[in-house]
Amino acid sequence: MGGRARAQTIIKNSIHLLDSIGPDYWCGYSYAWLANMKARAKDGEGAASDLSIFAKAFCSVNSFHLNGDQTKSGYSKFTYRPFTLEGNFAFAAGLQEMLLQSYAGFIEVMPAVPSDWRDISFDDLRTEGAFLVSAKKVAGEMAEVKIVSEKGGSTKLKLPFTKWNAAYNKGFKIVNTHDGFIVLNSKPEAILVLKNISK
C-alpha cells in the first residue's frame, strides 16, 4: 500500500473509531469539529449529518450553541445549557470545508458535498493566496466557477468538470497541465469565469 493510500486508510479508520465509540460525553461542538474532519476526508454525507445533528440538538431557537443535547435524543448524555461560541464557529468552518478547500496546494471546489445537494452555490469564499471563489452546481453538475485574484499570484485549480471554457478572463494566464488541474497565473484584481461545456 502506497503512502497516500495508507494515510487515507488511517484517517478513515480514525474517524470511524470516533463514530463507533459514540458521543455519550460529547458536547455540541464535538459534532461541529467532527464535521470539519469528515469534510477534510471528503466525506460529505458524514459532514452534513454531523452539522445537522449540531443544529437540531445543540442549538437554541435563536441559534446559540448550548453544549448539551436539548432534544434529549441520545446525541449526548449532557443536557445542560451553557452558551459557548466555538460550536457555531466550527459549524461555519465545517460548511466552508465542504464547499471549498485549498490547504493541499491547490483549490478544490465542492470537495465534500453530499450527492443530494444537487442545486447549490456560494459566493466569494476565500482560499489561500488571496483568491475569492464562487461556484454553482445545477442538477448535480458543476456549472460554473469564478475566481478573483485580489493581489495577483499563482494558484492551481482541480478542475470540477471534464470539458470547460473560459467564459470570461481578465488578467489570468491559464496553463493546462492535462492531469485534471490547471495552473492560474494572475495579475491583481484578475477575474476568471470557467463554465462547464460537457452538455
Tens of pLDDT, residue by residue over 94-126, are 999 999 999 999 999 999 999 999 999 999 999
Over its C-alpha atoms, the chain yields an Rg (Å, rounded) of 19
> Is the same domain home to 84 and 129?
no
pTM > 0.75? yes
> Is the same domain home to 51 and 127?
no
- What is the rounded distance in angstroms from the CA atom of residue 168 to the CA atom of residue 53? 40
Q: Which three cell numbers stand for residue 120?
A: 447549490
The amino acid occupying position 96 is Q
> Is the same domain home to 77 and 4?
yes
Whether the per-residue pLDDT at 198 is higher than 70: the answer is yes
**124-179 confidence digits (pLDDT tens):** 999 999 999 999 999 999 999 999 999 999 999 999 999 999 999 999 999 988 89
Please give the C-alpha separations between residue 141 and each of 46, 119, 137, in angstroms, as whole numbers: 21, 8, 5
> Is the same domain home to 168 and 115?
yes
* 33 band by pLDDT with thresholds 50, 70 and 90: very high
By residue range, what is the domain housing residue 53? 1-98
Whether the per-residue pLDDT at 192 is higher than 70: the answer is yes
DSSP 50: H
Whether the per-residue pLDDT at 22 is higher than 70: the answer is yes
Q: Which three cell numbers stand for residue 22?
A: 459514540
- What is the rounded distance in angstroms from the CA atom of residue 86 to the CA atom of residue 100? 21
Dihedral sign, CA of 108, 111, 116, 117? negative
Predicted pLDDT of residue 1: 67
